[in-house]
């Protein structure tokens, strides 16, 4: 799967995505993460990409043309029909189902804004999806793009060592994950629940399901409602 990020800070994406599981997946050729520097498409002799907002107000606005040219360049590489995701606190709030939907695509383009936003006219022309990663405001779209890439890439077959684990973790079926334990069997006087040492798979599964229900009821009752109504 191809991820292409249009940004003023390509090094942020490159550094953030070259370690751990994403780094390994890139090296193995399961995913490709590329960046385009929007500044490279500046039409200004000082390589400026922002200007004052019409109508006044604080901050600067990213200009339409360099953003347009960067996105068109990415589309030329990945295909004219590639979805372009603009990261913005005004977008639809990202969740697991959205990650699953995006993971079906062969390629995705992420557009990261900075300053007070991007000229609306270019957004109207290039953006297919407006996505927020939560109700708070960050300084730019790079961290949100990385959050989305991480959540989507782990669903690509082969990216996780253990192919089943993408499916059974938190939010599958709107339940939080059950608690996990590893050796030693006693730590700080706390014992691993006996059932997990029993080797009885049906009992273990039932115990885990009950834990998931209890946790979800306690920490995310909103999710439990969704689980029940399925
Ligand atoms: N850009 C700034 N804040 C953001 C957020 N919460 N989600 C997505 N993009 C953003």
- 156: phi then psi, degrees, rounded to nearest 5: -75, 125
- The DSSP symbol for 105 reads S
Q: Whose CA is nearest to atom 7 of ligand 1?
A: 132
| DSSP characters over 116-153 | T-B-HHHHHHH-SEEEESSSS--S-SHHHHHHHHHHHH
**pLDDT band for position 185 (cuts 50, 70, 90):** very high
Identify which of 195, 196, 154, 194 has the alpha carbon closest to the alpha carbon of residue 171: 154
pLDDT tens by residue, 113-151: 998 899 999 999 999 999 999 999 999 999 999 999 999
The SS3 assignment for 59 reads coil
- 134 Cα nearest atom in ligand 1: 6
Is the predicted pLDDT of residue 168 greater than 60, yes or no?
Answer: no
Is the predicted pLDDT of residue 162 greater than 90, yes or no?
Answer: no
**pLDDT band for position 171 (cuts 50, 70, 90):** confident
Q: Output the CA 142–ligand 1 centroid distance in Å.
A: 9
Contact residues of ligand 1, CB 6 A cut-off: 87-89, 132-134, 136-138, 141, 144
Q: Output the CA 40–ligand 1 centroid distance in Å.
A: 23
Per the CB < 8 A criterion, the answer to whether 59 and 27 are in contact is no
Average pLDDT of the residues in 109-114: 97
Compute the residue count for the chain. 230
Average pLDDT of the residues in 13-36: 97
The per-residue pLDDT of the chain, averaged, comes to 95
Is the predicted pLDDT of residue 192 greater than 80, yes or no?
Answer: yes
**pLDDT band for position 89 (cuts 50, 70, 90):** very high
Q: Whose CA is nearest to atom 4 of ligand 1?
A: 89
Residues 6+ positions from 208 with CB-CB distance below 8 Å: 178
Average pLDDT of the residues in 28-41: 98
**pLDDT band for position 188 (cuts 50, 70, 90):** very high
Q: Is the pTM of this model over 0.85?
A: yes
């Amino acid at each position: 799967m191809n991820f292409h990020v249009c940004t003023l800070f390509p090094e942020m994406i490159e550094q953030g995505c070259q370690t751990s599981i994403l780094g390994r997946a890139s090296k193995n050729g399961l995913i490709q993460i590329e960046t385009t520097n929007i500044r490279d498409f500046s039409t200004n002799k000082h390589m400026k990409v922002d200007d004052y907002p019409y109508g006044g107000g604080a901050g600067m606005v990213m200009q339409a043309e360099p953003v347009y040219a960067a996105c068109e360049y990415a589309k030329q590489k990945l295909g004219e029909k590639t979805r372009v995701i603009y990261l913005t606190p005004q977008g639809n709030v990202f969740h697991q189902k959205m990650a699953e939907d995006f993971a079906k695509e062969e390629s995705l383009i992420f557009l990261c804004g900075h300053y007070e936003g991007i000229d609306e006219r270019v957004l109207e022309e290039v953006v297919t999806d407006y996505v927020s990663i939560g109700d708070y405001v960050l300084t730019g779209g790079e961290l949100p793009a990385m959050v989305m890439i991480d959540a989507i890439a782990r669903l690509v077959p082969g990216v996780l060592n253990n192919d089943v684990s993408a499916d059974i973790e938190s939010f599958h079926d709107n339940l939080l994950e059950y608690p996990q334990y590893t050796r030693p069997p006693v730590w700080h006087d706390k014992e691993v629940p006996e059932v997990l040492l029993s080797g009885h798979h049906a009992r273990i599964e039932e115990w885990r399901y009950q834990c998931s229900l209890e946790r979800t009821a306690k920490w995310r009752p909103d999710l439990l409602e969704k689980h029940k109504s399925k």
